[in-house]
C-alpha cells in the first residue's frame, strides 16, 4: 500500500541514489586524499572531522529549516532544495578530486558538504507528509531498508579501480550519482506540484489517503 504512492516511490529512489553518493564519498575519500596528497594526511584528518561534523550538520539543519519556511506557500520546495543541493555538489566534488593543491581540494570539500547535506530533512518531511499516519512506521522502515541498495555503488567504484585511476573513478562516479539524484528530486518536485495544483489537491499524495486505508 505504501508503494502505491508515486511520491513515496520517487522519495525512495532519489534517496537511494543520493545516499549512494554519500557512502561512496565516505568509503573512498580517505584513499583519495592518501593517493593525491600523502603529505597532508594529518591536516586532512582534522579538517575532515570538522567539515563532516560542523558543516554537514549545519547544512542539514539549514536545509530542513529553509524547507519548513518556504514550503508554507509551495510544498514542492521540499523537493527543490535537495535537487539544487545535488546539482551543486556534483561539480564541487569533481573539483575536490581533481584539484592540484590540498588547500583548494579541502576548501571545495567544505563547499561540497555545505551544498550536499541539505537534503535529508526536506526528504523525510515529504515521506512523512505523504504517508497515512498508520503506515508511517512502515514507510520509514522501507526507506531505511531500501537504502541498503546504496551500498552497491562504493563496491562498483572499487571494482572499476582495477582498470581506471582512483581519482577519476571516484570523481565521475560520485558526480554521476549526484546528477541522477538531482534529476529524481526534480521529478519528485514536479509530481508534488501537479498533485497540489489538481482540483481538491491539498494533500500532496493523490494515491494514498487515510480514508482509503
- 159/73: higher pLDDT: 159
How does DSSP classify residue 53? I
Tell me how crowded residue 152 is: count the other CB atoms within 10 A of its CB: 12
**What mean pLDDT is reported for the chain?**
90
Task: Report pLDDT digits (tens) over 31-89.
Answer: 999 999 999 999 999 999 999 999 999 999 999 999 999 988 899 999 999 999 999 99
Worst-scoring range by mean pLDDT, 13-27, 90-104, 142-156, 164-178? 142-156
Q: List for the chain the helix, strand, coil content (%; round to 5).
A: 85, 0, 15
* pTM (predicted TM-score): 0.90
200 backbone φψ class: left, alpha, beta (φ>0; ψ -120 to 50): left
Cβ within 8 Å of residue 9, ≥6 positions away: 3
**Residue 199 to residue 136: CA distance in whole angstroms:** 26
CA-angle at 120, arms to 74 and 201, nearest 5°: 30
Helix (H) or strand (E) holding 91: helix 77-98
Task: Report pLDDT digits (tens) over 50-65.
Answer: 999 999 999 999 999 9
In the chain, where are the structural domains located? 2-212
Q: Please say if the pLDDT value at position 149 is more than 60.
A: yes
Cβ within 8 Å of residue 34, ≥6 positions away: 41
Report which of 192, 160, 178, 129 is spatially closest to residue 14, judged by C-alpha positions.
178
Residues across the chain: 213
The b/e string for 190-202 (b: 16+ C-beta within 10 A; e otherwise) is ebbbebeeeeeee
**Residue 84 to residue 68: CA distance in whole angstroms:** 16
Q: What is the CATH number of domain 2-212?
A: 1.20.1250.20
Q: Please say if the pLDDT value at position 152 is more than 70.
A: yes
Cβ within 8 Å of residue 91, ≥6 positions away: 175
Axis-axis angle for helices 102-116, 6-36 (nearest 10): 170
pLDDT confidence of residue 84: 98
Amino acid at each position: 500500500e505504501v508503494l502505491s504512492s508515486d511520491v513515496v516511490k520517487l522519495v525512495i529512489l532519489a534517496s537511494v541514489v543520493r545516499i549512494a553518493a554519500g557512502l561512496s564519498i565516505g568509503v573512498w575519500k580517505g584513499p583519495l586524499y592518501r593517493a593525491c596528497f600523502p603529505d597532508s594526511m594529518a591536516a586532512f584528518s582534522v579538517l575532515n572531522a570538522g567539515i563532516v561534523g560542523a558543516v554537514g550538520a549545519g547544512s542539514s539543519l539549514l536545509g530542513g529549516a529553509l524547507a519548513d519556511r518556504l514550503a508554507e506557500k509551495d510544498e514542492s520546495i521540499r523537493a527543490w532544495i535537495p535537487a539544487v543541493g545535488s546539482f551543486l555538489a556534483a561539480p564541487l566534488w569533481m573539483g575536490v578530486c581533481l584539484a592540484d593543491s590540498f588547500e583548494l581540494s579541502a576548501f571545495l570539500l567544505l563547499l561540497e558538504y555545505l551544498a550536499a547535506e541539505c537534503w535529508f530533512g526536506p526528504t523525510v518531511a515529504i515521506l512523512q507528509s505523504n504517508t497515512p499516519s498508520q503506515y508511517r512506521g512502515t514507510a520509514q522502515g522501507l526507506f531505511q531498508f531500501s537504502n541498503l541498495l546504496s551500498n552497491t555503488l562504493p563496491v562498483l567504484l572499487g571494482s572499476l579501480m582495477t582498470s581506471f585511476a582512483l581519482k577519476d573513478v571516484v570523481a565521475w562516479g560520485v558526480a554521476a550519482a549526484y546528477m541522477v539524484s538531482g534529476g529524481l528530486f526534480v521529478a519528485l518536485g514536479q509530481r508534488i506540484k501537479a498533485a497540489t495544483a489538481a482540483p481538491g489537491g491539498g494533500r500532496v499524495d493523490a494515491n494514498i489517503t487515510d480514508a482509503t486505508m
